[in-house]
Structure 1
Amino acid sequence: MRLALFITCVNDLVYPATGEAVVRLLRRLGHAVEFPGAQTCCGQLHANSGYRDEALPLVRHYAEVFAPYDAVVTPSGSCAAMVREWYPRLVPEAADVAARTYELSELLTDVLGVTDTGASYPHRVAYHPTCHGMRVLGLGERPLRLLRAVRGIDLVPLPGAEECCGFGGTFALKNAGVSAAMLADKCRAAESTGADVLAAADNSCLAHIGGGLSRAGSGLRTVHYAEILAAGEGS
């Protein structure tokens, strides 16, 4: 299988360690991963903000860049949701490559049949299911199944896990007051777990939550779950 990594803008510019973790993890599982250098933004920000005409060239470019691959993996529930949910509507000819684009947990469990990545992570971890991953992709228990198999992990439930953190891309800018209130609720819930680490499938949401925790003086760290799955000996 010819497999490509779609890193996404946020990860490429701010959290490159997450993309590196995905490659390290898949190589450990015996799969080669290619990184097409011509990839750009998926157009989610444009489309979600009402600039759909401006998103179209990005959609077409994504379809062209990733057309040669059997599968495309991305460590972002929101970007995977953009590709799978909106690409077929915006540019019908992009539907084929959209169907071959997977969020990391989907690729591991549904395509590769993996539930144990061989990771070791001796920390107390709570998991926040992000909105796009939960409500659009329907990831369900996939990330949690993978995390439960990690050696040494103490995976604890997050109260109100299915409640939005308040980020929502430009929502946090246009509705700052509401966003801040939602963030405060999420931070309180996360701190109540006694966890050392809060994990999720989207670094954008983790950046929002991590900012709230930092401003509150919390010692709780935010870590993309791909970095947990790639941790341990042999990684």
Structure 2
Amino acid sequence: MRVGLFIPCYVDQFYPHVARATLTLLERLGCEVDYPLEQTCCGQPMANSGYEHLTGGCNDNFVRNFAGYDYVVSPSGSCTLHIKEHLHATNESAATAIRSRVYELTEFLTDVLKVSALEAAFPYRVGLHQSCHGQRGLHLSQMSELMAPPFSKPVQLLNMVNGLELVELDRRDECCGFGGTFCVTEEAVSAKMGKDRVADHLRHGVNYITGVDVSCLMHLEGILKRTGSPVKVKHIAEILTATV
């Protein structure tokens, strides 16, 4: 299958190693992966700020770059959800086709590739941050307030990593407070929510915090660095490709 690799702009600019890990993982699993060079922002920041009517250029560019692939895969739950729910373009038939085959990385691995084993090792205590867009928008995991059987696609994959000890948190699906432009317009609330989320991981003695959204991890990483914590963050793609 031909996969178009969709790398959000902030990942491209600040966390390119996450993009490389995603590419490595997909190729290890037998995918033919292309990276369209003319891709840019998906338009989510504008849409979240109330300016979705100005995202037409982003949408048309996205369609030009990703039309024709069997699947479009991204290491970002929030950007994937934006495309899945909001991509409309001049070529609407192509946009509709893309919306039906765009996947966040972990849902692609579990739902499409149906991965049952990974050659990865990561001998550390790891806390999983289940970001809101992934959990409540893409349904990557069950929401704890629902009386329903629990599941988690990221946990399913992390359990395949040799030596990894997944730590149970007190509030496993609490928001970190990043929220895209929310962290700019409501910075005090955002920072306090992030501190609370970090504290839950620290109470349980994690070595690393992981998740499916680099944006959330970036927010948590900033708090960890400012407090001098030795705890690090790693996107799930980095852990699923780790060999140490």
TM-score bin (small chain): over 0.9
Paired residues of 2:131 and 2:175 also in contact (CA < 8 A): yes
Q: Write the letter of the residue equivalent to 1:123.
A: Y
Moved over 2 A (4+): 88-93
Moved more, 53-62 or 90-99: 90-99
CA distance in structure 2 between the aligned counterparts of 1:115 and 1:161, rounded to whole angstroms: 24
Tell me the distance in 2 between the aligned counterparts of 1:89 and 1:123: 45
The answer to whether the 8 A contact 1:71-1:100 is kept is yes
Separation in structure 2 between the aligned mates of residue 215 and residue 90 of structure 1, nearest angstrom: 45
Q: Is the 8 A contact 1:108 1:114 kept in 2?
A: yes
> 2:120 aligned with 1:109, yes or no?
no
The offset of 1:64, in angstroms, is: 2.0
| Residue of structure 1 in register with 2:97 after alignment | 96
Instruction: State the secondary structure of the residue aligned to 2:127.
Output: strand
Matched ranges for 1:187-206 at <5 A: 187-206=198-217
For structure 1, the 5+ residue unaligned runs are: none
Between the aligned partners of 2:90 and 2:175, the Cα distance in structure 1 is 26
Per-residue displacement from partner, 1:26-85 (whole Å, max 9, x unpaired)?
A: 111222211111111110001111111221211121122111100011000000010112
| Cα distance in structure 2, aligned partners of 1:52 and 1:31 | 33
For residue 33 of structure 1, give the secondary structure of its aligned residue in structure 2.
Answer: strand
Contact 1:119-1:150 within 8 A present in 2 as well: yes
* Alpha-carbon contact 2:106-2:153 (below 8 Å) kept: yes
Distance, in Å, in 2 between the alignment partners of 1:88 and 1:77 is 19
CA positional deviation for 1:154: 0.8
Structure 2 unpaired stretches of 5+: 142-151
Scaled by the length of structure 1, what TM-score is found?
A: 0.95
Q: What is the alpha-carbon root mean square deviation over aligned residues?
A: 1.6
2:77 is equivalent to residue 77 of structure 1? yes
Q: Percent identity?
A: 44
Is 1:176 the counterpart of 2:187? The answer is yes
Give the aligned residue type for 1:22: T
- How many residue pairs are counted as aligned between the two chains? 233
TM-score by length of 2: 0.91
1:91 Cα offset (Å): 8.1
Q: Where does residue 56 of structure 2 map in the other structure? A: 56
Q: Which residue of 1 aligns with 2:145?
A: none
Shift, 1:157, TM fit? 1.4
